[in-house]
Amino acid sequence: MSTLAQQQCEACQAGAPKVSDDELKELMREIPDWAPVARDGVLQLERVYKFKNFKQAWAFGNKVAELAEAEFHHPGILMEWGKVTVTWWTHAIGGLHRNDFIMAAKTDQLL
């Protein structure tokens, strides 16, 4: 079985299944530095990456943006001095799809 980071996102549209509670637990084991957070009832994956300054944070944020465009699956990216907060969820289903875990794992590989 390939790791999450080696997998590709599948085309996802409204009506696609959200991950179940059991799948969530299983998938979270592969991305231990991420946390599931609920915002306005929408479950998301979030990680804060720390950097020495804004320039390094900015460069990482840009890499995440390029990854998102390449996979056509887009996160929230908050760039601050020394920090980048990345948040993955699937807008079309208002929650977490397997794609979000794949993208979180791919994000970690950008470091």
Ligand X SMILES: C[C@H](O)[C@H](O)[C@H]1CNC2=NC(N)=NC(=O)C2=N1
Give contact residues for ligand X (rule: CB under 6 A). Answer: 72-74, 90-92
Closest-CA residue to 90 (of 46, 48, 42) = 42
Partnered with residue 42 across adjacent β-strands are 39
Are the CB atoms for 45 and 100 separated by under 8 Å?
yes
Least distance to ligand X from the beta carbon of 64, Å? 12
Least distance to ligand X from the beta carbon of 25, Å? 22
Other C-beta atoms closer than 10 Å to the C-beta of 93 total: 19
Least distance to ligand X from the beta carbon of 67, Å? 12
Of residues 48 and 67, the one with the C-beta less far from ligand X:
67
Closest-CA residue to 71 (of 11, 24, 20) = 11
Of residues 25 and 91, the one with the C-beta less far from ligand X:
91
Of residues 55 and 91, the one with the C-beta less far from ligand X:
91
